[in-house]
Structure 1
Amino acid sequence: MSRDDRRAYLALAVLALPTMLIFLDITVLYLALPHLSADLGASGTQQLWITDSYAFLMAGSLITMGRIGDRFGRRRVLLWGAGTFGVASLLAAFAPSPELLIVARGVLGVAGAAILPSTLALITTLFRDSRRLSTAIALWTTAMMAGVAFGPVIGGVLISHLWWGAVFLIGLPVVGLLLATGPRLLPEVRGAGQDRLDPASVVLSLATILPAVWGLKELARAGWRPGPVVALMLGAAFALTFVRRQRRLRFPLLDLRLLASPLVSGALLIGLLVAGVQSGTSLLAVQHLQLVEGLSPARAGLWLLPPAIALVIGMNLTPLLARRVHPARILAGGAVIALIGQLVLTRVPATGSTGVVVCGLCVAYLGVSPVGPLVNGLVLANVPPGRSASAASLPSTGGELGVALGIAAMGSIAMLVYRRELHVPPGVSAGPVQEGLVAAGSVAGGLPGPAALELLTAAREAFTASLTVVSAVNALICAAIAVLALKMLHTPYPSEHAARQDRRNS
């Protein structure tokens, strides 16, 4: 290996670490949520905002940050995002209130949006050879999915030995490494300078997402009231305005022509749906291990190692399998495997369910493991070269939006089922208990022994019912993903052999 190659792979390692950190910050909070909620007094709605404000603001800012990177330089935007990420991590770790923690998580999301597209754009600059570029992108995707998978494990270990704020401090060494080595290892890359950022499109994109999220959360909390319904209608109206504006602009924030190909749009839709299923399942399963099974954060994290390993193994086997099997069939088969895993989770009992939960997660994670490598490959292989920079941000945007939608939608469904199935013992105020299992535990702490046990048993059974219902919904989504993969991704996929044959003919 030449000196330039060693330098490129060293730079890849520096870029892979913040990529893993960005996605780790989504799931590392799962095990910390009960602890910080009890410490800060966060309500059920505030807990949802704490978990998914990060992912929603990242999803809404990814394309905008990609445009800014094109104009001002990818390395510059990457380093700015890393510095901001470090400062926001400190604010989140020592936040004295749920409101400040929500704000800090939002800033983390915007900073993450500055980092993510810059890493992939710099990788395409570091590796010009197509074979090495494919390997580098696979490693980048592995880092991304490893962050999602190992977040709960790392969070569990930290919470067991430190306090909940420690989960936000794990990014500081990575940020320091990137700021120290980035200026020397990473090249500066700028676009042609022709694209102009449209501020109105940026505002419209956020105006589309935020009212929709708030409306969904309020529907879960307060039911069908005028406020949430109006918010959802406003989000839909802003979405239509955004689409119409993009079609008129010479330099749109989102080039809608990229979505004209069924391969591109189908791959992005599958990526969004899988991200939603995986994030919603993980959130509830992790809380079930802690709040229902009573596992410590460290033990819950260790029990989550097998699903994480299954995900990483399946993801690294995907490129080998794709040389022999069409990606549409791989994705469809994986969706069927994930469906089986979700069906296992619908059989989770209220007590003694650790083995069932872990088994279901292993099967479900293995089923979704091909999505990361294949969706990125399908999108980048089926857009014109002149649009590759814009296309590179689309899978990440869809994935981030899918994670946030999954947490919001599945969390909202779980809350509705929990409240419907919860039977509050006589003499206990139903209001606080209906905020969630953490709140039920706090109320039970002030009750006599038999009444406390009755309340906790009822709350755990209601939470288990919410997990089984969400798993059933996710199973239906997995079936839809399998059909989508076979219907929309059935066209020929360019293999390496075909690419070599094309080069010989040219």
Structure 2
Amino acid sequence: MTAAPQLPAMAPPKATRREWVALGVIALPCLVYAMDLTVLNLALPAISADLQPTAAQLLWIIDIYGFMVAGFLITMGTLGDKLGRRRMLLIGAAAFASASVAAALSTTAHALIATRALLGIAGATLAPSTLSLISNMFRDERERRVAIGIWISSYSVGGAIGPLVGGVILQYFAWPAIFWAAVPVMLLLLAVGPFLLPEYRDPQAGRLDLGSVALSMAAVLGGVFALKQAAEGQPGLTTLLAAALGLAAGVAFVRRQRRIAYPLLDLKLFGQPRFAAAICTYALTSFAMFGVYIFVSQHLQLVLGLSPLVAGLCTVPWALSFVAGSMLTPAIAQRLGAPQTMIAGLTVAAVGFAAMAMVDAPHGLAWLIGGMVLMGLGMAPVFTLGNDIVIGSAPPERAGAASALSETSSELSGALGIAVFGSLATSLYRAGMSGQVPADTMAGVHTLGGALTVADGLPAAMAEALRHAARSAFVDGFQAAALLGTGIMVASALLAWRMLRTPALRG
């Protein structure tokens, strides 16, 4: 008796023009989301003059958006799986447009803080909804990688042009105009989204567990708040309590996910080596990138003395390299394989970090820009393939929650990177300054900006000596951070090689 011949597996369907047009539509809100993270900083002087917030209120105006995004990502990703990803994206777009209008009409600092919080909650729907929709729209692996590369590029472009667009807007309009700019994009998404975007939801979705929602928010918000406070040099009782709350809530959240039938986060995904490797390398890359990037703008303006516009233009090559790397990744991965491409990217990023450590050498600006370009080219494959592996490893009905986990890991590791790298550089800076100024004046020069301000009120010779000492101490901290980033990239490459090296995982 002969066995029946096995039919060859059907190739996944190719995307049509409709899917590619839809990808362009969902990339627009991602670009606006990234712009909203950076454009506000330029408007702070105008906001301060108009609304006259206190120092604490000004800090909350800046930070509350990122806090809310981080806290609601997992919840919004799971809601998208349950209610429908297109529906969740359109609800988020409507909420983002409404909150933008409310922010533009704010007349008090408290109102602006509240509307920025609403913007963050609405923004948390964008990343998981758009990424999980990409997994539905692009079934072919190579096309999906190209789509994810475009998706990631939209964030890079938004972050790069945010200061430039904000500068142009503020040149001709008052500060509320930076919020009005987001409204037309969201209205466009609401107009064409129902016709171009497919709907997908988990037909077996259970009831949303509100206890898990509360625990996840407490864990993420507590952790991010504590990390940001530590990064700003405020390790007080409030910071310790926030860290303890976040840790306790995180432990309780994990235990609860193991017990309930429909968890907010499927912990079984971490049992897959591909998924675990993608999350780990993505998190480590974000940790190093955010940790080092905080020094770049300060170095360009306070050490090299460049204007804000020229400093912003110096960061454009980094964003363009990230875009180029994201677009080249699918072709390289098709030829070399995903693991080899990620490892090669991490190696290139390590060289970029090492080049950034040469900022005090002759032609230091060229070393810095070249290092940033290599960093962008090397990190792009990790972001593109990491997200592809994450949503490809998860069951289709849980793609929203998986993509939200990817973004949450990036948010948390980025905040941790800022805290760790910032603490390292601050310690080296203070050590370098301790013998340069009298002990009773150290309080005024504990940052490079503070030291330069103090120097402006001193006699010329003393002022120049203080500026030189402060800039040298800052560069020492910057170099140490760049070298630490180099080590993390090398360690990430070794980790990816170890976790992705078996033949079964190279597909």
**If the TM-score is normalised by the length of the shorter chain, which range does it land in?**
0.7 to 0.9
Return the alpha-carbon distance in structure 1 between the equivalents of residues 339 and 469 of structure 2: 44
Question: 1:220 and 1:305, CA in 2 relative to 1: closer, same or farther beyond 3 A?
Answer: closer
Identify the residue that residue 483 of structure 1 maps to in structure 2: 494
TM-fit CA distance, 1:346: 1.8
Question: 1:346 and 1:367, CA in 2 relative to 1: closer, same or farther beyond 3 A?
Answer: same
Return the alpha-carbon distance in structure 1 between the equivalents of residues 69 and 315 of structure 2: 26
Question: RMSD between aligned alpha carbons?
Answer: 3.7
Return the alpha-carbon distance in structure 2 between the equivalents of residues 216 and 72 of structure 1: 33
Return the alpha-carbon distance in structure 2 between the equivalents of residues 463 and 159 of structure 1: 31
Q: Percent identity?
A: 40
Return the alpha-carbon distance in structure 1 between the equivalents of residues 147 and 335 of structure 2: 21
Alignment length (residue pairs): 490
Query: Is 1:253 matched with 2:264?
Result: yes
In structure 2, what residue type is equivalent to 1:123? I
Question: Matched residue of 2:503: which SS?
Answer: coil
Identify the residue that residue 236 of structure 1 maps to in structure 2: 247
In structure 1, what residue type is equivalent to 2:270? L
Identify the residue that residue 393 of structure 1 maps to in structure 2: 404
Q: What's the CA shift string for 1:386-438, capped at 9, x where partnerless? A: 5444333332332233333333433344344434433574598443443x344
Return the alpha-carbon distance in structure 2 between the equivalents of residues 91 and 362 of structure 1: 38
The equivalences for 1:210-225 within 5 A come to 210-221=221-232
Scaled by the length of structure 1, the TM-score of the pair is: 0.83
Query: Is 1:431 matched with 2:443?
Result: yes
2:393 alignment partner, one of 382, 388, 391 = 382
Query: Is 1:363 matched with 2:370?
Result: no
Query: Is 1:202 matched with 2:213?
Result: yes
Q: What's the CA shift string for 1:296-333, capped at 9, x where partnerless? A: 22212222222222222222211111122232222222
Identify the residue that residue 425 of structure 2 maps to in structure 1: 414
Question: 1:360 and 1:487, CA in 2 relative to 1: closer, same or farther beyond 3 A?
Answer: same
Identify the residue that residue 502 of structure 1 maps to in structure 2: none
Q: What's the CA shift string for 1:347-386, capped at 9, x where partnerless? A: 2129974222212211211211211221122223333445
Query: Is 1:349 matched with 2:360?
Result: yes
Return the alpha-carbon distance in structure 1 between the equivalents of residues 19 and 504 of structure 2: 29
Identify the residue that residue 503 of structure 1 maps to in structure 2: none
Return the alpha-carbon distance in structure 1 between the equivalents of residues 502 and 165 of structure 2: 41
Return the alpha-carbon distance in structure 1 between the equivalents of residues 162 and 36 of structure 2: 7
Identify the residue that residue 122 of structure 1 maps to in structure 2: 133
Identify the residue that residue 113 of structure 1 maps to in structure 2: 124
Q: Contact 1:27/1:151 (CA < 8 Å) preserved in 2?
A: yes
Query: Is 1:290 matched with 2:290?
Result: no
Identify the residue that residue 336 of structure 1 maps to in structure 2: 347
Question: 1:124 and 1:340, CA in 2 relative to 1: closer, same or farther beyond 3 A?
Answer: closer
Question: 1:385 and 1:41, CA in 2 relative to 1: closer, same or farther beyond 3 A?
Answer: closer
In structure 2, what residue type is equivalent to 1:343? A
2:37 alignment partner, one of 26, 38, 44 = 26
Identify the residue that residue 272 of structure 1 maps to in structure 2: 283
Tell me which moved more, 455-464 or 421-430.
Answer: 421-430
Question: 1:318 and 1:443, CA in 2 relative to 1: closer, same or farther beyond 3 A?
Answer: same
Return the alpha-carbon distance in structure 1 between the equivalents of residues 179 and 54 of structure 2: 18
Scaled by the length of structure 2, the TM-score of the pair is: 0.82
Q: Contact 1:156/1:300 (CA < 8 Å) preserved in 2?
A: no
Identify the residue that residue 459 of structure 1 maps to in structure 2: 470
Question: 1:457 and 1:102, CA in 2 relative to 1: closer, same or farther beyond 3 A?
Answer: farther
Question: Matched residue of 1:195: which SS?
Answer: coil
Q: What's the CA shift string for 1:73-100, capped at 9, x where partnerless? A: 3333223322333344466678788877
Question: Matched residue of 1:82: which SS?
Answer: helix
Return the alpha-carbon distance in structure 2 between the equivalents of residues 430 and 448 of structure 1: 18
Identify the residue that residue 12 of structure 2 maps to in structure 1: none
Question: 1:199 and 1:62, CA in 2 relative to 1: closer, same or farther beyond 3 A?
Answer: same
In structure 2, what residue type is equivalent to 1:180? A
Q: Contact 1:85/1:108 (CA < 8 Å) preserved in 2?
A: yes
Q: Contact 2:166/2:178 (CA < 8 Å) preserved in 1?
A: yes
Return the alpha-carbon distance in structure 1 between the equivalents of residues 426 and 211 of structure 2: 35
List gaps (5 residues or longer) in structure 2: 1-14
Return the alpha-carbon distance in structure 1 between the equivalents of residues 449 and 43 of structure 2: 10
Query: Is 1:174 matched with 2:185?
Result: yes
Q: What's the CA shift string for 1:101-152, capped at 9, x where partnerless? A: 6655443332111122222333344456666545433432332343345545
List gaps (5 residues or longer) in structure 1: 499-506
In structure 1, what residue type is equivalent to 2:34? F
TM-fit CA distance, 1:245: 0.6
Q: Contact 1:217/1:412 (CA < 8 Å) preserved in 2?
A: no
In structure 2, what residue type is equivalent to 1:284? F
Question: 1:129 and 1:232, CA in 2 relative to 1: closer, same or farther beyond 3 A?
Answer: closer
Query: Is 1:12 matched with 2:19?
Result: no
Q: What's the CA shift string for 1:30-55, capped at 9, x where partnerless? A: x7399689977886x98886665534
Q: Contact 1:56/1:404 (CA < 8 Å) preserved in 2?
A: no
Q: What's the CA shift string for 1:422-462, capped at 9, x where partnerless? A: 3574598443443x344445555555555554444443333
Query: Is 1:57 matched with 2:64?
Result: no
In structure 1, what residue type is equivalent to 2:147? A
TM-fit CA distance, 1:244: 0.3
Tell me which moved more, 318-327 or 185-194.
Answer: 185-194
2:334 alignment partner, one of 316, 320, 323 = 323
Q: What's the CA shift string for 1:193-224, capped at 9, x where partnerless? A: 63221111111112212333333344455576
Return the alpha-carbon distance in structure 1 between the equivalents of residues 391 and 66 of structure 2: 23
Question: Matched residue of 1:324: which SS?
Answer: helix
